[in-house]
């Protein structure tokens, strides 16, 4: 067996939504979260003790941090019916609540925040392993990586990505978080606040770069940069400003990191501007996920319209139409059959669409709606591509 095959098998074995511990089946994601929290408390406590600070104060701060995480997760659940955990949101909220707690207690804020940063980093190390196991925050298609199955769809994994090998960007971020923790511990000896500043800049720099490898499209973008990339710029800029005003120990590498991210941002925006209207934008992870949701929604509406009657036989549905944010127009209709259904899709775009891109987009639709398809064919005008998917009911 080749090295690549062995690595892929290892990642595939790790991809599971539940694990058995002591004869009990537990959520893999929640288990990693609990282990990460415990590791964070222990690591942060050890650093506080090493610097001669009160262990009990940090234990209270850790409890506040845990409560903040739970409350923020509960608010996310109440807002959209599911839980959407965003690493940056939770880290910012925890830093804010722990800072307020330390101020109220009259404790040295910056010194304890160094320990909080170490705890946050260790929590993220295990949290991203949980992401890797359940399939959230996944990477782009790659030759080396992890494949997810149908069980992961129940946890929110996109159906059109099932079976595709994806870059384990979660494992890369986990490793980088551990590096950031090590950097923070080393920097903490340069003075109070140096540890938290180093952790924030180190994590922000790595997160900015790793965003280019992410393959999940359920994230907000502005001017070709993701929300996390803009946040990385803002966090690093704030740290550099605090260092320049003497509120944090100065570190010239932080200004260099900010300059590098700013240069990469300008290059990314420039490339995106040159490629506007390019077919390749339609194959970006964000647009592929959007197309999958749109096609699934249209097919479901069409399936409700279509019905079988004894007198008239199959009655076709009305044509349902929607457009994606990148200007792709998608229409769908359905004809019910006794053994399943026939879905018809049409894809077009005012700026034009190549047969190769249409075929790639058609494959995404086929995964969602059935397992038999005809090739995408252009109409006489050459600007509309049609796709027929035959969905047969499987015998039980």
Position 378 scores a pLDDT of 53
218 and 249 in a single domain? The answer is: yes
Considering the domain architecture, whether residues 258 and 383 belong to the same structural domain is answered as no
Judgement on whether residues 8 and 96 belong to the same structural domain of the protein: yes
For residues 229 and 272, the answer to whether their CB atoms sit within 8 Å is no
**Last-in-domain residue among 274, 290, 313:** 274
Closest CA to 362 of 382, 376, 343: 376
pLDDT at res. 380: 47
Of 274, 303, 337, the position where a domain reaches its end is 274
Contact 227, 218 (CB under 8 A): no
Number of domains in the chain: 2
Q: Is the Cβ–Cβ distance between 92 and 30 less than 8 Å? A: no
Question: Which residues have a Cβ under 8 Å from the Cβ of 385 and sit 6 or more positions away?
Answer: 346, 347, 348, 353, 355, 358, 362, 376, 377, 378, 379
**Do both 296 and 249 map to the same domain?**
no
CA distance 136 to 108: 37
Q: What is the pLDDT of residue 86?
A: 77
Cβ contacts of 392 within 8 Å, gap of 6 or more: 339, 340, 370, 371, 372
pLDDT score at 133 = 94
Does one domain contain both 65 and 182?
yes
Q: Are residues 261 and 115 in the same domain?
A: yes
Residue 342 pairs in a beta bridge with 335, 390
Q: Judge if 178 and 308 occupy the same domain.
A: no
The whole-number pLDDT of residue 297 equals 80
Domain shared by 381 and 264, yes or no: no
Centre a 10 Å sphere on the Cβ of residue 82 and count the other Cβ atoms it contains.
8
215 and 325 in a single domain? The answer is no
Sequential pLDDT tens for the chain (396 residues):
688 889 989 998 989 999 988 888 899 999 999 999 999 999 999 999 999 999 999 999 999 999 998 888 877 654 444 556 678 888 999 999 999 999 998 899 999 999 999 999 999 999 999 999 999 888 888 888 999 988 888 888 888 788 888 999 999 999 999 999 999 999 999 999 999 999 999 999 999 999 999 888 767 888 889 999 999 999 999 999 999 999 999 999 999 999 999 999 999 999 888 776 677 778 888 888 888 888 878 877 777 766 544 445 566 677 888 888 888 888 888 877 666 677 788 888 887 788 888 888 887 787 766 554 554 555 545 678 888 777 655 443
Which residues 6+ apart lie within 8 Å of 193 measured at CB? 110, 111, 113, 114, 247, 248, 249
Q: Is the dihedral of CA 107, 109, 115, 116 positive or negative?
A: positive
Residues 253 and 336 both lie in one domain: no
Kindly state whether residues 326 and 244 are assigned to the same domain.
Answer: no
Q: Do 256 and 326 lie in a common domain?
A: no
- Please report the pLDDT score of residue 285 as a whole number: 81
Q: CA 361, CA 283: separation in Å to the nearest integer? A: 7
pTM of the model: 0.82
Among the candidates 230, 256, 274, a domain finishes at 274
pLDDT value at position 160? 79
The pLDDT, as a whole number, for residue 51 is 94
User: 97: domain range?
Assistant: 3-274
Cα–Cα dist 31/10, whole Å: 20
**Which among 156, 141, 165 is positioned nearest to 12, based on CA atoms?**
165
């Amino acid at each position: 067996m080749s090295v690549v095959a062995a690595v892929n098998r290892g990642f595939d074995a790790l991809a599971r939504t539940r694990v058995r511990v002591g004869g009990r089946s537990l959520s893999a994601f929640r288990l990693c979260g609990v282990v990460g929290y415990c590791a964070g408390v222990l690591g942060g406590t050890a650093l506080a003790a090493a610097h001669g600070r009160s262990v009990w104060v940090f234990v209270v701060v850790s409890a506040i941090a845990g409560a903040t995480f739970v409350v923020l997760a509960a608010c996310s659940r109440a807002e959209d019916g599911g839980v959407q955990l965003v690493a940056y949101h939770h880290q910012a909220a925890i830093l804010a609540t722990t800072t307020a707690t330390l101020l109220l207690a009259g404790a040295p804020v910056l010194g304890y925040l160094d320990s909080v940063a170490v705890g946050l980093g260790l929590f993220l190390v295990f949290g991203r392993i949980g992401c890797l196991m359940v399939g959230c925050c996944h990477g782009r298609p790659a030759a080396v990586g992890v494949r997810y199955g149908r069980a992961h769809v129940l946890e929110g994994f996109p159906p059109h990505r099932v079976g595709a090998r994806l870059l384990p960007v979660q494992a890369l971020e986990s490793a980088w978080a551990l590096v950031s923790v090590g950097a923070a511990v080393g920097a903490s000896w340069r003075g109070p606040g140096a540890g938290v500043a180093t952790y924030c800049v180190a994590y922000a720099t790595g997160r900015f770069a790793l965003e280019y490898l992410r393959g999940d499209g359920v994230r907000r973008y502005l001017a070709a940069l993701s929300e996390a990339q803009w946040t990385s710029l803002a966090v690093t800029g704030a740290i550099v400003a605090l260092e320049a005003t003497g509120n944090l120990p100065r570190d010239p590498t932080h200004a260099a990191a900010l300059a590098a991210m700013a240069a990469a941002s300008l290059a990314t925006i420039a490339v995106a501007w040159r490629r506007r209207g390019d077919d390749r934008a339609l194959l970006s992870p964000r647009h592929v996920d959007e197309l999958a949701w749109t096609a699934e929604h249209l097919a479901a509406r069409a399936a409700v319209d279509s019905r079988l009657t004894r007198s008239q036989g199959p009655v076709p549905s009305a044509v349902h139409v929607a457009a994606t944010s990148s200007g792709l127009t998608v229409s769908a209709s359905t004809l019910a059959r006794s053994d399943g259904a026939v879905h018809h899709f049409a894809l077009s775009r005012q700026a034009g669409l190549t047969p190769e891109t249409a075929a790639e987009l058609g494959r995404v639709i086929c995964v969602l709606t059935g397992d038999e398809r005809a090739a995408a064919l252009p109409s006489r005008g050459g600007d509309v591509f049609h796709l027929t998917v035959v969905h047969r009911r499987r015998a039980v």
